[in-house]
Amino acid sequence: MTLTLAALIAGILLVLYALFNSGKKQVMADTPTSKVRSVAMGFAELKGVAKPRIMLVSPYAKLPCLYYKYKVEVITDSGRHRSSRTVREGESGSPFYLDDGTGRILVSPKGAEMRLTDRVQSEDPPEIITEWSIRGGERLYVAGTVGKLRDFTGADFDQAAHYRQELERLHGLLADVDRKPREWTGPQAQEAARDRVRQDIRQLEEKINSFSRETNGDLGEEIAVGKGTGEATFIISDMSEEDLAQQFSYSNALAGAAGGSLIIYALWTFMQG
């Protein structure tokens, strides 16, 4: 009975997911593409080229970029099955510009549904590290709310956001030095590794403190596109609108079919009991 109820709940959630995504796809289809030069406040669809406000470096692959997102998973292999558990994840918060030839507008990535194909994956057993990024010059599709940058709750538009993410990663490295003593040739090598990471941490902390004393001037008054209050749709993608719509159609059909099958199975099982 517990398994049947779990199947019913999972099926309903999958169907709701498909319906929710169908709604986003319809919003994309119903929203005409605006030009940056004449875009109005409110929900809008924009297409253009990503341009830097500040340059970032992705924390693991060390790629120059305008935005990054990462996930670190620990892989467990019992011999019978292989499973993963996310132990660290994060993203940059600094905005970048979108230029469509008629003008440029800030994009605040906080809260966006990122549909990115630019992905780098590496293994450092038992960890798998996956990074997604947006590089300068990449063509982007953006559907979100246009307003002033300060209007987007939690919009972190200073360089300190990037360094805080890097600081979190370094603290993780410092912990790894203590967790993996066998990787070092001896206590002296292990302590030297600790010192290197501690020095990097001190330098980053100094940068963060200096940035916290600086002001961002009138940046918050600039027009930007971001996650609107009460608005469900905010998408940033390096795919074309057509490819993105096709991806939504595929995932919606898959989730709908799987959810429907689970619901039918659960109801049939209930009736048999």
Which DSSP string corresponds to 239-259?
S-HHHHHHHHHHHHHHHHHHH
Q: How far apart are CA 195 and CA 201, in angstroms?
A: 10
Among the ranges 46-50, 201-205, 254-258, 264-268, which has the highest mean pLDDT value? 46-50
User: What gap in Å lies between CA 257 and CA 266, rounded to an integer?
Assistant: 14
Query: Which amino acid does the sequence have at 57?
Result: V
Whole-number pLDDT of residue 193: 77
Would you put residue 137 in left (φ > 0), alpha (ψ -120 to 50) or beta?
Answer: left
Q: What is the structure's pLDDT at 159? A: 57
- Helix ranges (H only) for the chain are 2-30, 160-179, 187-212, 241-272
pLDDT number for residue 213? 45
For the question of whether the overall pTM of this predicted structure is more than 0.85, the answer is no
- Rounded-to-5 percentages of helix, strand, coil across the chain: 45, 30, 30
CA–CA dist 145, 43 (Å, integer):
4
Among the listed residues 113, 151, 141, the one whose alpha carbon sits nearest the alpha carbon of residue 229: 151
Q: Average the pLDDT over each of 16-25, 83-92, 113-122, 209-218 and give the range with the smallest value.
A: 209-218
Could you give the C-alpha distances from 187 to 13, 101, 141, 180, 219, in angstroms and in order?
A: 52, 58, 51, 12, 49
Grade residue 215 by pLDDT with cuts at 50, 70 and 90: very low
Q: Which phi and psi angles does 227 have, rounded to 5°? A: -85, 110
**Average pLDDT, integer, range 218-244:** 86
Calculate ∠ Cα 252-253-256, nearest 5°: 80
| Mean pLDDT value of segment 47-56 | 91
Cα 217 from chain centroid (whole Å)? 27
**More confident site: 161 or 210:** 161
